[in-house]
């Protein structure tokens, strides 16, 4: 007997359709899986067998062959096990013929017959739906997440025995569990869920302006200075002045975090993500990859949000240099035979750095010239050149008072972003920080006086072509924050001031 069940596996951050074909024939009892399964797929025999027997269902004492089509695509994880078990039930006439027409099946099996959740359910269900699937059977824990895909019926399953009864019409489908509030992705909270607000920061007016410009234009920001001046405190409040994600953006971010296994509750990510990896993170952890199935790195998990690198000089130079391509192209390409995977990486990079190993900087620095030179070499010139905003931060004065709160700044940022998006309507980029250098003359025109001021800044600071373009982009964002249709010489001067030569 032959049965076929529609399912899907992960390929990068997208779902790949898989046809699970189960053939049961006479012969010595055997179980073989073909079609490039990984180790988890090859181990499925014992889990599927134990789940069927624990559910009071028969295990065929015949020759079983499972084919995972297409045969040239690597299948990863245990999410195809439920489809294999259902295929066996169909082949043995334990389920009515045609009960799974137009239905996809996803899920991992426990030895007791329980249906366990799978990572990336949103991407998998979306891939099935795009192929014409009308309904999908998912683990009960993934039902809330799967329901985010519009236009597909979600049938939750808690156990293999219950699934068989529901498919035969003997029981009603269980109701999906209600999603929990999305606290894990709320960028208005820190790791301990304490409220954050820009009003907590005293003084630092120049740095606060840089933070606002970074949020409004999508400009990468580097803050340098001795410990205790407020760099980290300021950077961690950047997400609080970013507007919420739109529906399409929220679905995209939720899909990425689901693939990475970071959405156990299946709730929609509505706030821009904030990722702050430790400086001991490897290159693969930062940009993605790894052995087996390539996983998204921190740059992808920060997509549509903020990637915060504290103590930038302590990160491995090789890992930092690997960030240069994602910063420019906003994607990560990982080549694995026979596929090249593309992970989105449209993040806003915010980094903090000390001026030297001791962190004190002049005049209290205790480091030798050799130590300072070695420390500064960890940050390559090409990497530093990719920061639109580079600022040296000094300690606030005791008399400094708190500035504006996050709500007021967020309104200005949202208004500036709306102006950008209206200007770039129909273009592939939506933020000033993403404008290609070749399109600056067309999208960021400068009057005679403004262009003269811009060229004067280039000459005085000996800027590279990339640095000159970044000053121009920042000036456009400053104009958007002011509600100005044109870029003035004052905007260019302020943009140049926000690009200090930090140590």
The tens digit of pLDDT for each residue in 73-109 reads: 888 888 999 999 999 999 998 998 889 999 999 999 9
Let me know if residue 321 belongs to a domain: yes
Report yes or no on 189 lying in a domain.
no
As beta bridge partners, residue 275 has 307
502: confidence class by pLDDT, cuts 50, 70, 90: low
What is the CATH classification number for the domain harbouring 351?
Answer: 3.40.50.300
| Residue 338 domain flag | yes
Residue 174 lies in a domain: no
270 and 386 part of one domain:
yes
Instruction: Tell me how far CA of residue 30 lies from CA of 24, 49, 62, 67, 333, in angstroms.
Output: 10, 12, 7, 14, 40
- Whether residue 424 is found in the same domain as residue 476: yes
pLDDT at 52: 94
- At residue 305, does pLDDT exceed 80? yes
**pLDDT tens figures, 370-396:** 877 777 777 888 888 889 999 888 888
316-333 per-position pLDDT tens digit = 888 998 999 999 889 998
Question: Quick check: is 191 in a domain?
Answer: no
Higher pLDDT, 292 or 171: 171
Q: Which of 502, 211, 214, 153 is nearest to 347 (CA)?
A: 214
Minimum mean pLDDT range among 10-14, 97-101, 497-501: 497-501
- pLDDT tens-digit profile of 115-167? 999 999 999 999 999 999 999 999 999 999 999 999 999 999 999 999 999 99
Largest CA distance in the chain: 87
Rounded CA-CA distance 15/262 in Å is 17
Residues 425 and 490 in one domain: yes
Domain count, the chain: 2
My answer on whether 243 and 354 are in the same domain is yes
Taking only the tens place, the pLDDT of each residue in 201-258 is 888 888 899 999 999 999 999 998 888 888 888 899 999 999 999 998 999 999 999 9
Out of 167, 186, 220, a domain closes at: 167
Percent of the chain with pLDDT over 90: 51
pLDDT for position 495: 92
Q: Same domain, yes or no, for 107 and 202? A: no
* Final residue of a structural domain among 167, 184, 212: 167
Distance of CA 351 to the CA centre of its chain: 18
Only one residue has tokens 């992808």, namely: 300
Q: Which domain holds residue 110?
A: 2-167
Q: How far apart are CA 443 and CA 461, in angstroms?
A: 24
Question: Is pLDDT above 60 for 181?
Answer: no
Which pTM does this prediction carry?
A: 0.86
Does residue 184 register a pLDDT over 90?
no
Domain match, 294 and 441 both = yes
Strand partners, 155: 137
pLDDT (mean) for 39-63: 91
* Residues 225 and 137 grouped into a single domain: no
Asked if the structure places residue 175 within a domain, the reply is no
Q: What is the pLDDT of residue 276?
A: 93
**Do 154 and 204 fall within a single domain?**
no
For residues 407 and 240, give the distance between their C-alpha atoms in angstroms, rounded to a whole number: 8
242 and 114 share a domain? no
Residues 130 and 225 in one domain: no
* Residues 429-483 pLDDT 10s: 788 999 888 888 888 889 999 999 999 999 988 888 888 999 999 999 999 999 9
Task: Please report, for the domain that includes residue 42, its CATH number.
Answer: 3.30.230.10
In this structure, the answer to whether residues 121 and 241 fall within a common structural domain is no
Same domain, 162 and 218: no
In this prediction, residue 187 carries a pLDDT of 44
């Amino acid at each position: 007997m032959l049965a076929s069940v529609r399912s899907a596996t992960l390929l990068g951050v997208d779902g790949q359709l898989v046809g699970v074909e189960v053939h049961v024939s006479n012969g010595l009892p055997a179980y073989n899986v073909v079609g490039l399964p990984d180790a988890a797929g090859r181990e499925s025999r014992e889990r599927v067998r134990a789940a069927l027997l624990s559910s009071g269902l028969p295990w065929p004492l015949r020759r079983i062959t499972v084919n995972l089509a297409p045969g040239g695509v690597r299948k990863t994880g245990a999410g195809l096990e439920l489809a294999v078990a259902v295929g066996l039930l169909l082949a043995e006439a334990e389920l009515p013929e045609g009960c799974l027409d137009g239905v996809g099946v996803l899920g991992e099996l426990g030895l007791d017959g329980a249906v366990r959740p799978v990572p990336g359910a949103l991407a998998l269900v979306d891939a099935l739906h795009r192929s014409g699937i009308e309904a999908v059977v998912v683990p009960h824990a993934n039902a809330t997440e799967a329901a985010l895909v519009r236009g597909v019926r979600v049938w939750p399953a808690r156990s293999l025995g219950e699934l068989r009864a529901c498919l035969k019409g003997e029981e009603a489908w269980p109701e999906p569990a209600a999603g929990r509030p999305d606290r894990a992705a709320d960028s208005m909270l820190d790791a301990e869920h304490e409220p954050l607000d820009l009003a907590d920061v005293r003084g630092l007016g120049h740095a606060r302006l840089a933070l606002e410009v970074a949020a409004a234009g999508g400009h990468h920001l580097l803050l340098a200075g001795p410990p205790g001046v407020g760099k980290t405190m300021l950077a961690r409040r950047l997400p609080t002045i970013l507007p919420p994600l739109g529906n399409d953006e929220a679905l995209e971010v939720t899909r990425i975090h689901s693939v990475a296994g970071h959405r156990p509750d299946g709730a929609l990510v509505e706030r821009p993500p904030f990722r702050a990896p430790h400086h001991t993170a490897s290159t693969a952890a930062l940009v993605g990859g790894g052995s087996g199935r390539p996983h998204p790195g921190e740059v992808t998990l920060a997509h549509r949000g903020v990637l915060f690198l504290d103590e930038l000089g302590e990160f491995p130079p090789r890992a930092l240099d690997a960030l240069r391509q994602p910063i420019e192209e906003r994607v990560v390409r990982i080549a694995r035979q026979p596929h090249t995977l593309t992970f989105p990486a449209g993040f806003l990079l915010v980094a903090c750095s000390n001026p030297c190993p001791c962190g004190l900087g002049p005049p209290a620095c205790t480091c030798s010239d050799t130590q300072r030179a070695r420390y500064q070499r960890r940050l390559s010139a090409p990497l530093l050149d990719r920061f639109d905003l580079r600022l040296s931060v000094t300690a606030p004065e005791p008399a400094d008072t708190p500035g504006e709160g996050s709500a007021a700044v967020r309104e200005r940022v949202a208004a500036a972003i709306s102006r950008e998006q209206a200007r770039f309507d129909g273009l592939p980029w939506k933020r000033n920080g993403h404008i290609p250098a070749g399109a600056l003359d067309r999208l960021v025109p400068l009057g005679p006086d403004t262009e003269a001021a811009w060229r004067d800044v280039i000459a005085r600071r000996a800027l590279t072509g990339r640095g000159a373009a970044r000053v121009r982009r920042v000036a456009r964002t400053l104009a958007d924050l002011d509600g100005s249709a044109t870029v003035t010489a004052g905007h260019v001067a302020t943009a140049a001031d926000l690009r200090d030569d930090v140590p």
